[in-house]
Each structure stands twice: as structure tokens, then as C-alpha cells.
Structure 1
Amino acid sequence: MPIPPSGARAALAEALALLFPTWCAGCDLPGASLCADCALALVPDLRVRRLADGLRVHSALAYEGVPARVVRALKEDGRTSLARPLGAALAAAVGAADPDGDVHIVPVPTSRAALRRRGYRVTELVAVRAGLTPERRLLARAPAADQRGLGRAERAANVSGTMRARDAAGLRILLVDDVVTTGATLAEAARTLREGGAEVVAAATVAATPRHGILTARRA
């Protein structure tokens, strides 16, 4: 039997998750994919971080507690129905990053290994659920080692030179990703697009790890 495309697989997984919920992704409460209390924990609490290259990264949530568990359930457990509440958080971060909305939304590319493992592109799925139109064609990614477990310098070295911009010259771009940790991947994506002639105005993510970053501040 032929394997459906990744978008169809994600849609099927999301439909099954809605029909047959098992436990809350945030607290393990039986009978709901996301309980009311954990849904409240995903209400955006906007913050902004500036990376070493000057790129502003707006994030909706702190990557800890319930938000971290929900993101991991989406990324590692295939619970694609969670892309919708996380999409609402991403939409808030995008609105803070570019209030005018006059930008091209470019997701940080998914690695081939991650796509094979999950069957769908996490950031693009969340962006679509946020009501955005991600333009994957503008930025491509070559193979690189898994970033998990790497320190700041190792992450930067690992992603250096791994991306390619396509037809981005003259465009105003807002980068989106699921989580910002050290910012190495976003910085490399921004550098690549700028070298390709684009203006990268900012970045937006669902969540940010609280222990990293040169400058971190909350925004009301």
C-alpha cells in the first residue's frame, strides 16, 4: 500500500487523536488530549530575546512545565492535534514580531532525519494551524547532526553552512520555529537568507528555553 504524503499522514493522525483521546499531554489526566488547566498554561506570555547577530526572537511561552510537555508530545509522540493550541501561541508571537503582517513566513527547515522519524514537519504544521502560510521553498537545509545534547558553540558549528536560500532576494521575511534554545539554528537561517538578498525582520517561536540567550525580556 502506498504511503500517503506527510501532510495527509499528519491530518490522519490529528483526526484519530481527536476521535480517540487518551490522556492530557500536559498532565496525564485521562480522557482528554489537553485538559482545561493545561490549556490555560498555553495562553501566551510573550517574551523577546535578541541573539548575538541582533535578530529579535519573539516567543509565546517558556519551554518548561506544561508547554514543554505539549511540544514534546507533538514532536516525539505524534500527537498532531496539539498543533492547534500551539499554533495559537505561535500566532501571538508572530503578531508581536511583525504587527503589520507584511512579511513572508519562512519556517526553519526540518531535517531529513526528523521528517523520516515523524512523518511530518512540525514547524510547518504548527504554522498552518496558526493560520499562516509558510513558504518552505525559500529556505532549504542540508543534512546535519542532531542538535539535541549539544552546547551553544557545538550547535553553532553543527548548523554552519547547512542552509541554502532560494529566490529570497528583495523579500521581507519572518522566520518561525517551534522552540529557540541557543538560537544557533535561527541565526544560521537568518544569515543564509540575508546573504541571499532578503531582509529578515525578526523570528517567532512557540516557546523559548529560559536558561539561554544574551538578552531576555518579557513583553506585555
Structure 2
Amino acid sequence: MEASADLSTIVRGAFADALALVLPVVCAGCDEPDIALCAACSECLRPAPVRRDLASVTVWSGLRFEGVPARAIRALKEESRTGLARDLAPALRSAVERAGGGTLVPIPTSRASFRRRGFRVAELVAGRAGLPSERLLRVRRQTADQRGLDLADRRANVAGSLLARDAASRRVIVLDDVLTTGATIEEAVRALTAGGALVIGAVTIAATPRRNQRQSEHSADTSETRA
């Protein structure tokens, strides 16, 4: 069953890539015609790792979710422009390098999102970056859409929603696409820890800048990676 689902993901991703070659495209960052990503916008996707310390884990993100990076990630997620995964891959790789060594464990994609897109965003970008991952987390119960919820409601929404399997004694890094409040990542950390894993960090492609995080978010130039 798992092999069939993986094959379906590969086929859908290949179809989306092929479709992008024959349909008119504009730059994902600035709407310049006839190019998927112009040179100037590509430069905006150069890795600029940031660190955010959550209550249970340190999260490294390759980019800030604003401007061109935000538009590129939205184009990948909402328009299925899967070719952009290659452009975002260096940012994720830079985050993983700072998180340390461990097995990447993606947060499960909801069934609705997978049906809509046909691929798993974080896993796709990780694959383009040459970073293998293992699905050690599964959904225990479905949750409501997190959009529009405040931090407390997000935490309540995802509490107890994930369950780890085959995680005992594993050294792991949680993988997600975008860090917003961190509620889902912390639920993943809880589930993996309960399953016997050692969670050494978390990584995302990008992180949403927050005004109240300036004291806990540091640039890669001024921070030390947590071992």
C-alpha cells in the first residue's frame, strides 16, 4: 500500500513538472513572463538560516517566509509548481546542516492536502535536496484547519493528534515546510519522544517572522547550533 502511494506521488509530481513545460509560466517571485524563476528572485532564495527556540526544541529554517521566498513556497503548495522544489532545496539543506545529524522525520500531510496537491511539500523539497526521510509519524486523529487560529487554539487543535511508530532509540529531526507558531512541530516532538526517540532538533524550509520572537530567533552568523 505504501509503495503504491509513493508511486502515485512520483507520477503526479512528474506530470506536474511536464505540464509546467507546456503551459505559459511567470516568475514565481515577480511575475516576469516566460520564466519559472528569474535570476533576481533566484538570488532571494539563497539560504539565510534562522533559528527559533520553541519550548521543546530548536528549529532551524533556511529562509524567512516573506517576499520572494513566501511567494515561491505558495506557488509550490497552491499551484503545484513542483519545479520550484529544486530552487528551495538549498535552503532546507542549510537548515539541516545546522540542526545536526539525525533521521529526518516529516510531519504527516493531511489527506485533504495530499489529495489536492498529489505530493508532500516538505518531503518533495527534501528529496530534491538529496535528504532522505522516514515516515515515523502517523495521524492518530484528524485536526481542524490551523489557519485563523491563535497559538493556544492551535496547540489545543493538534494536541495528541500524532503517534510515532518504530521510533525507539532513533536520533531524529522533525521536518516541516513552514514554521508559524510551532504548535504542530511541538506535537511531533511530543509524539516522537513518547515513542522513545531522541529529538535533536527540527527544520523547515522557511519561518514566518514574528515581532515577538526577536529575542529567541537568531541569524546563523550569531548563533551556535545545538548539539
Any conservation in 2 of the 1:15–1:81 contact (CA below 8 Å)? no
Distance 2:132 2:73 in 1: 21
Segments of 4+ in structure 1 off by > 3 A? Answer: 18-21
Distance 2:97 2:15 in 1: 29
User: Residue in 1 aligned with 2:149?
Assistant: 150
User: Residue in 2 aligned with 1:217?
Assistant: 218
Distance 1:21 1:133, change over 3 A: farther
User: Residue in 1 aligned with 2:69?
Assistant: 67
User: Residue in 2 aligned with 1:5?
Assistant: 8
User: Residue in 1 aligned with 2:88?
Assistant: 86
Gaps of 5+ in 1: none
CA RMSD of aligned residues (A): 1.6
TM (norm. structure 1) is 0.92
User: Residue in 2 aligned with 1:47?
Assistant: 50
Q: Does 1:140 align with 2:138?
A: yes
C-alpha deviation, 1:18, in angstroms: 4.1
Any conservation in 2 of the 1:168–1:193 contact (CA below 8 Å)? yes
TM (norm. structure 2) is 0.90
C-alpha deviation, 1:15, in angstroms: 3.0
3-state SS of 1:131 partner: coil
Distance 1:70 1:179 in 2: 12
Aligned ranges 1:1-220 → 2 under 5 Å: 5-18=8-21, 20=23, 22-53=25-56, 55-98=57-100, 101=101, 103-136=102-135, 138-141=136-139, 142-211=141-210, 213=213, 215-220=216-221
3-state SS of 1:164 partner: strand
Distance 1:149 1:174, change over 3 A: same
Gaps of 5+ in 2: 222-227
Any conservation in 1 of the 2:89–2:129 contact (CA below 8 Å)? yes
Distance 1:197 1:51 in 2: 20
Distance 2:59 2:153 in 1: 20
C-alpha deviation, 1:215, in angstroms: 1.3
**Range 64-73 or range 80-89, more displaced:** 80-89
Any conservation in 2 of the 1:51–1:183 contact (CA below 8 Å)? yes
State the one-letter code of the partner of 1:139. L
Distance 2:122 2:21 in 1: 20
3-state SS of 1:203 partner: strand
Any conservation in 2 of the 1:21–1:33 contact (CA below 8 Å)? no
Distance 1:202 1:21, change over 3 A: farther
C-alpha deviation, 1:21, in angstroms: 5.2
Distance 1:133 1:11 in 2: 19
